[in-house]
Amino acid sequence: MTDLTYREAMRGAIRTAMQEDERVFLMGEDVGHYGGCYAVTKGLLEEFGPQRIRDTPLSESAFTGAGIGAAMNGVRPIVEIMTCNFSLLALDQIMNNAATMRHMSGGQVTVPIVIRMATGGGRQLAAQHSHSLEGWYAHIPGLRVLAPATVEDAGGMLGPALADPDPVLIFENALLYNETGPAGDPGSVDIDHAAIRREGSDISLITYGGSLGKTLAAAGQLAGDGIDAEVLDLRVLRPLDDDAILATLAKTRRCVIVDEGWRSGSLSAEIMARIVEQGFWTLDAPLARVCSEEVPIPYAAHLEEAALPSAEKIVTAARTVLGR
């Protein structure tokens, strides 16, 4: 397994998909001549040409709708939306068309589209470029929602996503693009189940995406205090892997959920509800969560840092649950 950056692994996955299936093409803002806002698609235009690497107008609704129509007609589009905040301009297309078409046609029409978008804060890009809206999309039936947190997942999730007959949304936390790690084989990653990233016995820390690194750092700090934390990376936000959540809970009997979304109506709230519904009697302590503060993400670095989850906040929450 070769070490690559998250960005390189994603680019390699796109390249492999396009080499193996001539139906696959990529479209989005600045994906061609500029090489992508985060340089993920750099060099692909020269390799595959403008018919398969398509720069689009600045209209998320228009090019997402075009991608949906293309998918309905037998090709395999990858649509890149620059940031998840801008995906709201295409929400009508994603929710009312892509997510519903298979159901409304009685299974006669599928929409095998993959929509990639950057997510998350921590880059001083202010409130219109920094939110984590994965939980909003995880609310919608008819979609599969993925959040690769490792280089291996970044490179390995795209192939299975393109093979899915339903629309798949891939949320790439922008702080991960420079992270390095083993890339694995394209198409080799399970897009149905969560993954244990650290074994432990005292408390479960459940997270996904850009918060995984902070959560593992918190687990390391807790280990210094003699607290053995298990870290579960959800990876798949819709459908949630209830079995994995309940299995880690049954093992440790205590839980903190780390979610970069806002607390109110968040994905963490859904996970807590499922734990209470299905695993209440395994709990030895109240559940806790660490979320972003309920404010538009600030531009100022110190305020942005204060608004987002951190290893220190996770450690504090874990110690509180454990009565430490």
Catalytic residue (choose from 8, 29, 60, 134): 60
Amino acid letter, residue 304: E
Rounded-to-integer distance, Cα 116 and Cα 160, Å: 14
Torsion sign (Cα): 119, 120, 121, 122? negative
Amino acid letter, residue 16: T
Rounded-to-integer distance, Cα 291 and Cα 271, Å: 13
Rounded-to-integer distance, Cα 138 and Cα 171, Å: 11
Mapped onto helix, strand or coil, the DSSP state of residue 185 is: coil
Q: How far is CA 268 from the centre of its chain?
A: 14
Q: CA angle, 78 as apex, 176 and 55 as ends, to 5°?
A: 95
Helices 311-321 and 212-224 pack at an angle, to 10 degrees, of: 50
Assigned token pair, 116: 């990639």
Catalytic residue (choose from 129, 131, 179, 260): 129
Asked if residue 233 lies in contact with residue 207, where contact means CB atoms within 8 angstroms, the answer is yes
Asked if residue 203 lies in contact with residue 151, where contact means CB atoms within 8 angstroms, the answer is no
How would you label 148-172 residue by residue, b for 16+ Cβ within 10 Å and e otherwise? bbbbbbbbbbbbbbbebebbbbbbb
Question: Is 152 among the catalytic positions?
Answer: no
DSSP symbol at 93: I
Question: Is 129 among the catalytic positions?
Answer: yes
Mapped onto helix, strand or coil, the DSSP state of residue 58 is: coil
Torsion sign (Cα): 83, 116, 265, 99? positive
Distance, first Cα to last Cα, the chain: 41
* Catalytic residue set: 60, 129
